[in-house]
């Protein structure tokens, strides 16, 4: 599994969330919502230090990661994070390798 952050999404994280080099952002599972890979669960993010990283990607000194406890959510899919300019929001795509 891998995490792919588009350049536009990285720009959004920097400008809207205020991330800078040295920061760490965790993608985690929420118990409500829906996603294409898990019914009744959705994906969220928070800025926090990692504990047990299962998958990570680093861009401009920012670590994007998923903890081992949340790996089940992805069901073998890669996570692609993109930015939808029209909706002015992030878009998560789950891609089977």
Q: What per-residue confidence (pLDDT) applies to 32?
A: 83
| Residue 95 clears pLDDT 90, i.e. is over it | yes
Q: What per-residue confidence (pLDDT) applies to 39?
A: 86
pTM greater than 0.85: yes
> What average pLDDT does range 74-91 have in this prediction?
94
Q: What per-residue confidence (pLDDT) applies to 51?
A: 96
| Residue 15 clears pLDDT 90, i.e. is over it | yes
Range 33-41 contact pairs with CB under 8 angstroms and sequence separation of 24 or more:
35/73, 35/92, 35/94, 36/94, 37/73, 37/74, 37/75, 37/77, 37/94, 38/73, 38/75, 41/73
pLDDT digits 0-9 by tens, 26-81 = 999 998 888 888 888 999 999 999 999 999 999 999 999 999 999 999 999 999 99
Four-CA torsion 31, 32, 38, 44, nearest 10 degrees: -80
- List the CATH code of the domain at 3-95: 2.60.300.12
Q: What per-residue confidence (pLDDT) applies to 71?
A: 96
């Amino acid at each position: 599994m891998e995490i792919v952050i588009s350049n536009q999404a990285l720009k959004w994280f920097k400008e809207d969330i205020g991330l800078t080099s040295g920061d760490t952002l965790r993608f985690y599972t929420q118990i409500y919502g829906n996603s294409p890979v898990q019914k009744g669960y959705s994906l969220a993010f928070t800025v926090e230090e990692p504990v047990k990283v299962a998958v990570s990607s680093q861009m401009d000194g920012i670590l994007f990661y998923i903890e081992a406890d949340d790996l089940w959510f992805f069901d073998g899919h890669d996570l692609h994070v993109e930015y939808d300019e029209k909706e002015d929001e992030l878009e998560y795509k789950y891609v089977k390798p």
